[in-house]
């Protein structure tokens, strides 16, 4: 590998990230946030996007294709049209992403090799996915600005950047390895860094951090975590400032309950009344101390649409939960146990919500669900409101017209 190349590009040509085998597409679909279509609709379009219109999407810095494949496959499975542009500097990563799409028979994808800083030259997009990229740019704000310029009116962005607290121990090692291995090829850096890493003291902050796993997953994971030449984390406050500087604003986060500090406070301890949203989210980040990343949805400043919580015409979708099984659990115990924020959380939910939950199919709106459950408006609201707050708070339910027949 020629060292005259940009170091970041050289890394991803040698070790495309994340490490993926196109043959695995036959047995599983990797999913996550952002770019889950129902979640996108919930946070960006008030749960009411007209999905009869093809989605024009850009996957900026698409790597080996996780976000690309998820979005294309889920829209295909839902019978929705799309035109997706994949953009990345790495030819090696593009080859993997293209092979994964081919393995699934996914069309409607335009593969482009280039920098996300040139995104605006590719047109305007209804949706932009940018995960794990902006924090690697020499001037990250230029990346935020470029994405904002590529956003079509009414469009939205799903973005992930690294966070500092959950990655404790990573940055001292990155600094040490830069000092030790400057000027070496990616392959030489990897071999020598692994040898040094094997001898780290037990008390090193990295060895004390149970949340770090990439280094054990693959060579690409080790390199991306510990040998990256350009990596700056963002607190949630810094991320919100970067969005603001680009003319964007926060539209939502996948699990809003994790950013609510009151969920971490014992009885008798209350929040100061003067805290704004950014300060509250920052307080939650400091109290948790485990965020490795921040995933946010963003829109142009002033264009935020609130999710249609409780509205009769809103269509709920459960994420990864079978409605019948959840209804049975509610009827029997009134509880749901989920994984959130690196921990297990038990949600106490109204047993009376069992009947409406059983009627969730991604096509019925709340009015139809209430009718199906045979509940009057007061009884329905009493059962549904706490269920809605809990499930949307932890990203287990979204409102979307994705499966609705005809225009929203």
Residue 13 in this model has a pLDDT that exceeds 50: yes
CA distances 51 to 37, 45, 148, 319, 397, Å, are 10, 11, 22, 19, 19
Return the SS3 of 375. coil
State what percent of residues in the chain have pLDDT above 90.
94
pLDDT of residue 408: 47
pLDDT digits (tens, 9 = 90+) for 150-188: 999 999 999 999 999 999 999 999 999 999 999 999 999
Higher-confidence residue: 234 or 342?
234
Higher-confidence residue: 405 or 58?
58
pLDDT digits (tens, 9 = 90+) for 291-337: 999 999 999 999 999 999 999 999 999 999 999 999 999 999 999 99
Cβ atoms of 380 and 373 within 8 Å: the answer is yes
Residue 5 in this model has a pLDDT that exceeds 70: no
Residue 3 in this model has a pLDDT that exceeds 90: no
User: What are the residue ranges of helices labelled H in 268-376?
Assistant: 277-288, 323-332, 354-358, 366-373
CA distances 268 to 226, 263, 365, 374, 384, Å, are 42, 13, 39, 40, 28
pLDDT of residue 340: 86
Local confidence band at 405 (pLDDT 50, 70, 90 cut-offs): confident
Local confidence band at 406 (pLDDT 50, 70, 90 cut-offs): low
Cβ atoms of 43 and 303 within 8 Å: the answer is no
pLDDT of residue 344: 87
| 365-389 CB burial, b ≥16 within 10 A, e <16 | bbeebbeebebeeeebeebbebbbb
What residue segments make up the domains of the chain, in order of their start?
Answer: 7-165+231-300, 316-399
276: which residues sit within 8 A by CB, 6+ positions away? Answer: none
Mean pLDDT of the chain: 95
pLDDT of residue 407: 52
pLDDT of residue 342: 78
Local confidence band at 343 (pLDDT 50, 70, 90 cut-offs): confident
Question: Which of 248, 235, 370, 230 has the alpha carbon at shortest distance from 303?
Answer: 248
pTM for the full predicted model: 0.95
pLDDT of residue 6: 82
> Nearest 5 degrees, angle CA 296-CA 67-CA 362?
75
CA distances 334 to 53, 195, 320, Å, are 40, 51, 18
- Distance, CA of 251 to CA of 156 (rounded, Å): 8
Cβ atoms of 324 and 405 within 8 Å: the answer is no
Cβ atoms of 313 and 365 within 8 Å: the answer is yes
pLDDT of residue 310: 96
Local confidence band at 274 (pLDDT 50, 70, 90 cut-offs): very high
First-residue to last-residue Cα distance in the chain: 51
CATH number assigned to the domain covering 7-165+231-300: 3.40.50.150
């Amino acid at each position: 590998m020629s060292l005259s190349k940009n170091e970041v590009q050289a890394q991803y040509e040698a070790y495309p990230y994340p490490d993926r085998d196109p043959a695995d597409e036959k047995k599983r679909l990797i999913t996550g946030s952002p770019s889950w279509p129902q979640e996108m609709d919930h946070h960006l379009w008030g749960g009411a996007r007209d999905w009869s219109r093809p989605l024009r999407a850009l996957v900026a810095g698409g790597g080996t294709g996780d976000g690309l494949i998820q979005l294309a496959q889920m829209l295909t499975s839902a019978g929705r049209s799309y035109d997706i542009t994949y953009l990345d500097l790495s030819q090696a990563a593009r080859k993997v992403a293209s092979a994964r799409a081919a393995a699934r028979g996914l069309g409607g994808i335009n593969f482009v090799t280039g920098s996300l800083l040139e995104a605006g030259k590719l047109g305007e997009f209804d949706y932009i996915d940018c995960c794990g990229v902006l924090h690697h740019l020499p001037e990250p704000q230029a990346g935020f600005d470029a994405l904002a310029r590529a956003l079509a009116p009414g469009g939205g962005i799903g973005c992930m950047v690294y966070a500092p607290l959950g990655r404790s121990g990573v940055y001292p090692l990155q600094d040490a390895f830069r000092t030790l291995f400057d000027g070496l090829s990616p392959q030489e850096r990897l071999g020598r860094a692994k040898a040094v890493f094997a001898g780290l003291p037990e008390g090193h902050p990295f060895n004390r951090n149970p949340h770090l796993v990439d280094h054990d997953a693959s060579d690409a994971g080790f390199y991306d975590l510990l040998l990256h030449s350009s990596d700056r984390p963002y607190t949630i406050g810094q991320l919100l400032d970067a969005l603001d500087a680009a003319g964007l604003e926060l539209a939502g986060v996948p699990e809003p309950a994790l950013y609510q500090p009151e969920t971490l406070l014992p009885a008798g301890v209350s929040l100061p009344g003067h805290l704004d949203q950014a300060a509250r989210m920052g307080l939650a980040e400091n109290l948790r101390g485990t965020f490795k990343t921040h995933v946010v949805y963003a829109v142009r400043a002033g264009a935020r649409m609130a999710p249609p919580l409780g509205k009769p015409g809103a269509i709920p979708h459960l994420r990864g939960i079978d409605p019948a099984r959840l209804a049975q659990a509610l009827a029997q115990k009134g509880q749901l146990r989920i994984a959130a924020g690196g921990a297990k959380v038990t949600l106490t939910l109204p047993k009376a919500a069992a009947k409406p939950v059983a009627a969730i199919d991604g096509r019925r709106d709340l009015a139809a669900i209430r009718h199906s459950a045979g509940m009057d408006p007061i009884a329905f609201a009493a059962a549904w409101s706490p269920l809605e707050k809990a499930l949307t708070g932890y990203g287990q339910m979204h409102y979307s017209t994705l499966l609705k027949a005809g225009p929203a």
